[in-house]
Amino acid sequence: MIAAGGTGGHFYPGLTLAQTLKERGWQVLFLTRRGDPSLPTLETSAIPYVELDLGGFSRKPSLEWLGFIRKAAASTNLAVRVLRDFGPRVVVGMGGYLTFPAIAAAARLGVPRAVHDSNAVLGLANRASVLLGAELFWGLPPADGSGGTVTGTPIRPALWHPGEPGPARAKLGLSPAATTLLVFGGSQGARTLNLSLPRILKSATALGPIQVAHLAGRKDAVEVRSAYAQAGAAAAVLEYVEDMETAYAAADLVLCRAGASTLAELAALRKPAVLVPYPHASGRHQTHNALSFAAAGAAVLVEEKDLAERLPGLLKDLLLSGPAGEILSRMSASYIKLGLPRPEETARALADAVEKLSEKDP
């Protein structure tokens, strides 16, 4: 049984694990959030699921906590009933609030259990689950050097081999031969990048011919497109792309947040990056994630408050200077220092670990 949902960063690694285990002959049941956007994907993948009536909660004390505690208790009781009926050999939580009721139920019934954390620091649900005896698998090397096994974070197979840059740029409406910067935010904090990048690049246009592929989201796309036009910068501003592999293939350099799923994709593709952590992320986990990439030399960490000051110089050094190609190649090669499996090995490594855990006596 796999508990995953709430955000794509938790759901898609869980889905990839489920598909890998199904290919090995396992029967997999998903625990997910009631009405989760992932439900059609589970149905298409023929993976049965049970919905829990549970959502996230504010980290600041409030009366909302009472409602969350009540729903968490009810979700745990439902998970206990599901475990008794389904009889799993192992329960895996992929992080986020859905993990805890699944792991708590497994602990109550003595079922082997594990959690996977895609970040470099443990989230709250995973910390609690480890205290309940869950084995720990990491998507990134842990920031504090704590125990557990680094398996990497599974990503969609379509991203393993994204293709050549020229055709990808043309598909996005860009010049096939021009130096390209890919910019995107995330589910949190994307608007800050959307509004600041055109303005920053206006001062950098004199540095040389940089073109931008900017994934701005539905709400900001029109405003961002207008801002690039005013800045005189060549840019393809898109609400989103269904095939993210095209966007990655087009890029010489990526500027983005430091969420775990994004970093898993960057690591798999070994894309040089400028990482701008979302400053309000819980436990500053994006900053810890970015620090691990920066320490390896695969990325440059820039705090959001320093972006306007530092980015023009970085673009000159990384994209337009004489040794820019050598610098980017060195950054790409530095991903090996993280010690993460290649993308085609990551799902297999996590599935192997889960299978080994399932062999333990309850």
pLDDT-derived band at 36 (thresholds 50, 70, 90) equals confident
Looking at the fold, whether 32 and 103 belong to one and the same domain comes out as yes
Cα–Cα distance measured from residue 209 to residue 133, given in angstroms and rounded to the nearest whole number: 55
Q: Which two tokens stand for residue 4?
A: 């995953």
Q: Would you say 76 and 104 are in contact if contact means Cβ atoms under 8 Å apart? A: yes
Mean pLDDT of 134-159: 90
Other CB atoms within 10 Å distance of the CB of residue 323 = 11
Label residues 245-268 b or e (16+ Cβ within 10 Å = b). Answer: bbbbbbbbbbbbbbbbbbbbbbbb
DSSP code string of 182-211 = EEE--TTTHHHHHHHHHHHHHHHGGG--EE
Question: CA–CA separation, 67 vs 28, rounded Å?
Answer: 30
Q: Assess whether 116 and 47 both reside in one domain.
A: yes
Nearest residue to 275 (alpha-carbon basis) of 243, 297, 247, 245: 297
Note whether 10 and 147 are same-domain residues.
yes
Q: Are residues 191 and 306 in the same domain?
A: yes
* Number of structural domains the chain divides into: 2
pLDDT of residue 296: 96
Over residues 7-14, the mean pLDDT reads: 84
**Residue 140 sits in the same domain as residue 208:** no
Helices (H) and strands (E) in the chain, counts: 14, 13
Mean confidence (pLDDT) of the chain? 89
Domain check: are 347 and 297 in the same one? Answer: no
pTM: 0.88
Asked whether the predicted pLDDT for residue 188 surpasses 60, the reply is: no
Q: Is the pLDDT of residue 146 over 90?
A: no
Q: Is the pLDDT of residue 70 over 90?
A: no
What residue numbers bound the domain in which 333 lies?
Answer: 159-338
Residue with tokens 């019934």: 109
pLDDT score of 224 more than 60: yes
Burial class (CB in 10 A: 0-12, 13-18, 19+), 355: middle
Q: Are residues 182 and 318 in the same domain?
A: yes
Residue 101 shares a structural domain with residue 226: no
- CATH label of the domain that carries residue 60: 3.40.50.2000
Domain match, 105 and 39 both: yes
Q: Tell me how far apart the alpha carbons of residues 156 and 141 are, in angstroms, rounded to a whole number.
A: 21
pLDDT tens, residue by residue, 40-62:
999 999 999 999 886 555 556 55
